[in-house]
Structure 1
Amino acid sequence: MPYDIGTILFHDQIAIKSIDALPFSEQGDSGALILEQTTGMAIGLLFAGTSTISFANHIADVLDSFGLEIDRELQRRLQHIAPDRGSETRSAERTADDHSGESSIDW
């Protein structure tokens, strides 16, 4: 969806690149919870993406901004299902997870 507002600069975000031919995210995926593949720990909330790179807010920042916590039982269940790669699982690598990078997206 084209936007005419220019370039937006985001600080301290997670940049995710697919490690296979499929994009990590697709149109309509915004708001999806991103899980770390091996542990099932919630790490981010998807907010933007292209065919080559996706961006997520750090989950701790999202939760802190709303004064929320992830329910321990939910986190346990997420950890339990993470190794089971369903049809909607995408393989990716985190490319900017050190809280010091900047990312820009042209809208």
Structure 2
Amino acid sequence: MKNRVEVTARDGDVTVNGEPVRSPLVRFMIIFCAIIGALSLFLLVLLPLLGMAVSLMVSLVLGFLAVLSGLVVVFILVSPFVLAAITVRSITQRKSGK
């Protein structure tokens, strides 16, 4: 049983544990999280070099980006289960209607 999740985005193809991601929304969210994470790391390296006022503004923006990327990650983790539940429900309704 795998306890790791590997996400790769290369040449426009996004894979999770080797399986291609077909949903454009999920692909966009994964790439968006990667960009936000890289930006956050870049800003964290620059924070000690900036002045107090500038670092406060950057900290506020960084905090906002962290919350936003956290929400996106939660959405990515929850959306497959929601989609699976909707699919199962629609299939069972279709079968019971026959």
- In which range does the TM-score fall when normalised by the shorter chain? under 0.3
Greater radius of gyration (CA) = 2
Higher strand share: 1
RCO higher in 1 or 2 (8 Å CA, sep ≥ 6)? 1
TM-score, with normalisation over the residues of structure 2?
0.26
